[in-house]
Each structure stands twice: as structure tokens, then as C-alpha cells.
Amino acid sequence: MKVVVAVKRVVDHNVKIRVKADESGVELANAKMSVNPFCEIAIEEAVRLKEKGIASEVVAVSIGSSQSGEQLRSALALGADRAILVETDDKVYPLQVAKILKGVAEAENAQIVLLGKQAIDDDNNQTGQMLSALMNASQGTFASEVVVNGDKVAVTREIDGGLQTVELSLPAVITTDLRLNEPRFPKLPNIMAAKKKPLDTKTPADFGVSVSSNIKTLKVTAPNERSAGVKVSSVDELIDKLKNEAKVI
């Protein structure tokens, strides 16, 4: 069984985001970039499937500039066998990403495609669902547990009322939630070995996908600064402020 894992390059989650002075987007110059945290979870799950003898090969895929190769090397250091960079300097949107991943999955004859449920930069939470529809494959979103049994996959997902377990037929698209696993740290020997693992470069055109878009970002602004909180000395003072100043009761 071959597993394809999507990897996205994003601003590190520990970095404070700054908006460009001209409000055209987020400032990326000199910002620390890393693998999207949900993608790290997807990589870890794929590697665990290989360690259990369920997956025969793990292929990491990233769509973006040549710099995304750094994140693919990170995926290789974590245990992926091969990597594919679909290189483009244009911004790609969820539907375009889904179409490219469909092309990769079909070319690789992948039985499982693992993705993070969302990326922390745009929070769209759309790619996995779109990919499932394009592939006409079963889907399990927000997975907190994945159990493969033959040609079936049991995915436990969190819903408002608790947990729901769905059984998927292969091929399947699975998006990962935070509680699925805890990603490992790459060891130095693995980091060195990752430099020698194969990394192929493709273009969106190789999969018949155009990255032109009718969507245009007009303006990006930072959220309003929150006013500092105050301490009150008694419950009566709290009620007074809520009633007369905040006017919420």
C-alpha cells in the first residue's frame, strides 16, 4: 500500500505574524518557515503505518516555490521515502491544490492520501474534501484515530456530541486532527540521510492544472488591538462594571 502525504510550507506557529506596510499580505521576509503543524501529524501517521508494515512507501508532496523543498526534506527526515515538489511561484487555492494532489495520487497509485485538516495560514479546511470528491474516494475528516484492516480503514473523528467512527473503503482521503498523534523529532542521522533521498520536481502543468485564478486579495489588515483587562476588588464591583460600563447585563 502506498501513502501520499501533503506537506505545506507556512510561517512557523511560534512566530508573531506581521502585515506588510502596504497591506498587500503577510510579511514573509526573514520569517521562520516550517511544516504546517497538521501536516506534521499527517506525516507521522503515514510513517507509523509504514512501521506497522501496512504501508510499503510514503511519498511526501508539496506545492509551492522552490523553498518548499526545505519542508519536504523535513518530511524525509521524519520517515518519508520520497518527495515530490510541484513547483510554482503563484498562489494556489484549495481547488487547485486538490486537482494537483489528485494527479499525484493517480500517478503514484496511492491507496491513502493523508492531509492536515487545515493550514494555519489560511484556515480554509477545504482541500481534503475537494480531493475526495475529485477522486471519487471515501473520506474521513478530523481523524483522531486511524485503523487499517485489509482494504478498509476505520477513522474515528470528533464531532459535537463526542466521537464518530466511520469505515472507509480504499482508496481513501483522510485529514488529520490534533489528537491523532504527537509528531516525533527527527534524529540527526535521519536529517543527514534525508539529503540523499530522492526529491522530484514537477509543475502544475504536468498534472494538467492551471494555477491562474479569478481571486484577488485586495487588502490584509491586522486585528484590532485588545484593550487591557482590569482587576476588581469585589463581586459587587464586577457586577457594576458589567452593568454600567460594558453594558452586557
Range of the domain at 120: 2-244
> For the chain, what percent of residues have pLDDT higher than 90?
72
Q: 3-state DSSP call for residue 169?
A: strand
Q: What is the pTM of this model?
A: 0.86
Q: Output the domain CATH number for residue 170.
A: 3.40.50.620
DSSP state letter for 136: T
CB-side neighbour CA atoms (13 Å) of 35 = 29
Mean pLDDT over all residues of the chain? 92
pLDDT category at 21 given cuts 50, 70, 90 is confident
Give 209-223 pLDDT, tens digit per residue: 998 888 888 888 888
62, 83 Cβ separation under 8 angstroms: yes
Q: Is residue 249 part of a domain?
A: no
165, 154 Cβ separation under 8 angstroms: yes
Q: Is residue 176 part of a domain?
A: yes
Q: 3-state DSSP call for residue 126?
A: coil
The number of domains in the chain is 1
Q: Is residue 79 part of a domain?
A: yes
Q: 3-state DSSP call for residue 59?
A: strand
Length of the chain counted residue by residue: 249
